Amino acid sequence: MMTPLIVAVCVVALLVFWGISIFNNLVQVRENIDKAWKNIDVLLQQRHDELIKLVDACRGYMKHERELLDGLTKLRTGYDQAQGSEEKARAENELNKATLRLRHTWEAYPDLKASANFIQLQDRVGALESSISDRREFFNDSVNIYNISIKRFPDLLLAGVSGYRVHPYLEIPDEKKADVKLDFESRRA
């Protein structure tokens, strides 16, 4: 009589430990998404701080571009006030579009491009852009692992009961994906 009871207790204990293991894995992959976003957030804040300096350096050269610069400042403020990774991602995508317009503008000002301060800031922003790109890739990898984990059987049973939902990927705006057109002829003078 003791043997079936011991077997039943062992089976129940194994199921409990198995459930705990699945739950801990789900928590880990969800927290990896949060960590990955926080890493992006740090770099974005650094970039936004550098953009302020870049905008200040450009202001003297581009007085008639005030609307673009003011828009960039408003977008940066919008990012700072955004709540949650989805809202911040939307604000970041808008800031990326404005930054692209700023790059097109500064290419039209040869004196500005030759300024040592501008070159240093431009290099710093470029380095941050590269780091942000790497972190975005890591974020999307973390989201992919999480989404697979909550859809995988038997994990999906516990994930559904625990309220785990599919997390959206960080998407890159179409402007950033567009093919770059290089026109070397128009730059000759």
Contact 34, 143 (CB under 8 A): no
pLDDT at 14 over 60: yes
The reported pLDDT for the residue numbered 133 is 80
- pLDDT digit string, tens, across residues 124-154: 777 878 888 888 888 888 888 888 988 889 8
Q: Rank 50-54, 84-88, 137-141 by mean pLDDT and report only the highest.
A: 137-141
Domain residue ranges of the chain, discontinuous segments joined by +: 26-172
pTM: 0.54
C-alpha 160/C-alpha 176 separation (Å) is 36
The pLDDT of residue 189: 40
Q: How far is CA 73 from CA 25, 49, 62, 102, in A?
A: 41, 10, 15, 12
- How far is 165 from 59, CA to CA, in rounded Å? 45
Residue 182 or 145, more confident: 145
Angle between helices 2-59 and 66-81 (to 10 degrees): 160
